[in-house]
Amino acid sequence: MVSHSLGAMPAKACDHIAEFTNLWVERGILAWEELLPEVERTATRIGRIIGAPTDTVMMHTNVSSVQAVIASCLDYRERNKIVFSELNFPSVSYLWKAEERRGAEVCIVPSADGVEVDTIRLCEAIDRRTAMVPISHVLFRSSAIKDVQTIVARAHEMGALVLLDCYQSAGIVPFSVEELGVDFACGGSVKWLCGGPGAAYLYVRRDRIPEFAPRVTGWFGHRAPFAFTMPAQDYADSVWRYAGGTHAIIALYQARAGAEIIGEIGIEKIREKSLRQTARVISRCDAAGYTLRSPRAPERRGGTVCFDFAGSELVAKELNRRKFLCDHRPSSGIRMSPHFYSTDEECELFLDEVERIKTDSSL
């Protein structure tokens, strides 16, 4: 029940990791002929899931470093305001706060209830001094879905850029980065894409690709990496200009199975089942008297249900000890995330176990 983090490993991931190691063993340095194209294969596979057109996605290793690449594109002389919600993922906030050393001014918009972002307040904070609006599509704390289109419309009206973190929506909520009109988007292979760590993606809206020259760069961002020219970067014209050094190729192999499975099933089908199961989880939480920390309205809810009660952290620990896998976050409570492979019975058993542990006076 922890698909918002490291969920069950696809059996095929082992085969793909073995494919990587076999290529290395058998072909040595020549394996690069097969390994390097995996960067574009992975980008295409993930691009299909997030509605990104071909050749607009570049692979990296984690969201924090992707955001660093984008931050390094900005010049704060004309516009220096960075606007985001206090419910953003913390490492994203750390990264942008550190940009204050380069002249940025961070404006963090508070949330009234800790569950949802107030779109009007966020939009009001975006003005003509705003350079960037880094937003989370689905909030990790509550699974609330942000009103991305309204925020994008306001940001673009003010001449600001939008960077969408869709880590908690990709693979569980249908959307298209192209239709949302965001300038950049990022996420990774863990969570709803059923992969392990190390394969993060960056989407750049096609018309924006040539506009920026990231200071955080590397030889794969060069138009001819194997020419080894010196001293300055000569950026590639394509989305490769946003690449850095050598890719963590093995991470791309482990990420393949999850993205393929999600792509084969289709997000619409996954969403339909998810909404049915999470609605049932919510009604059981209501019946048990837990505090719901996720939106009740299905259209505003991602794949996770967060619920809380006194002592929830200890209950989550015990659940994990009993191999009812979940996690707990401060001010979110227990996060429960069934995915396409979770049965209705497993959801019921999980909630039965929560109640059993909660009422066990010996614990």
Ligand X SMILES: Cc1ncc(COP(=O)(O)O)c(C=O)c1O
Q: Residues in the site for ligand X, rule: CB under 6 A?
A: 62-64, 89, 91, 136, 140, 165, 167-168, 188, 200
Closer of 4 and 45 to ligand X (Cβ): 4
Name the residue nearer to ligand X (CB basis): 79 or 146: 146
At residue 298, the 3 state secondary structure works out as: helix
- What is the smallest separation between the CB atom of 213 and ligand X, expressed in angstroms? 23
**Helices 267-288 + 344-359 axis angle, to 10:** 30
* 3-class DSSP string for 85-147: ECCCCHHHHHHHHHHHHHCCEEEEECCCCCCCCCHHHHHHHCCCCEEEEEEECECCCCCEECC
Rank residues 38 and 165 by Cβ distance to ligand X and give the closer one. 165
Secondary structure of residue 163 in the 3-state scheme = strand
Strands 305-308 and 327-329: unpaired
Judge contact between 319 and 326, C-beta under 8 A. yes
Burial 95-114 (b: 16+ CB within 10 A, else e): bbeebeeeebeebebebeee
Closer to ligand X by CB, 134 or 284: give it: 134
DSSP 65: H
Assess contact for 159 and 188: CB atoms under 8 A. no
Q: Smallest gap, in angstroms, from Cβ of residue 60 to ligand X?
A: 9
Nearest one of 17, 56, 64, 7 to 262, comparing CA atoms: 7
Considering the complex, what minimum distance in angstroms separates the CB of residue 228 from ligand X? 30
Which CB atom, from 23 or from 251, has the smaller least distance to ligand X?
A: 251
At closest approach, how far in Å is the CB of 49 from ligand X?
16
Selection from 236, 237, 238 nearest residue 224 by Cα: 236
The answer to whether residues 115 and 143 touch, using CB atoms and an 8 Å cutoff, is no
Closest separation in Å from C-beta 180 to ligand X: 16
Which C-beta is closer to ligand X: that of 2 or that of 236? 2
Nearest approach in angstroms of CB 165 to ligand X is 5
Q: Which residue number, 89 or 235, has a Cβ lying nearer to ligand X? A: 89
Least gap, CB of 65 to ligand X (angstroms): 7
- Residue 211 Cα to chain centre, angstroms: 24
Nearer to ligand X, 47 or 187 (CB): 187
Query: Minimum distance from CB of 219 to ligand X (Å)?
Result: 23
Token representation of residue 351: 């909630």
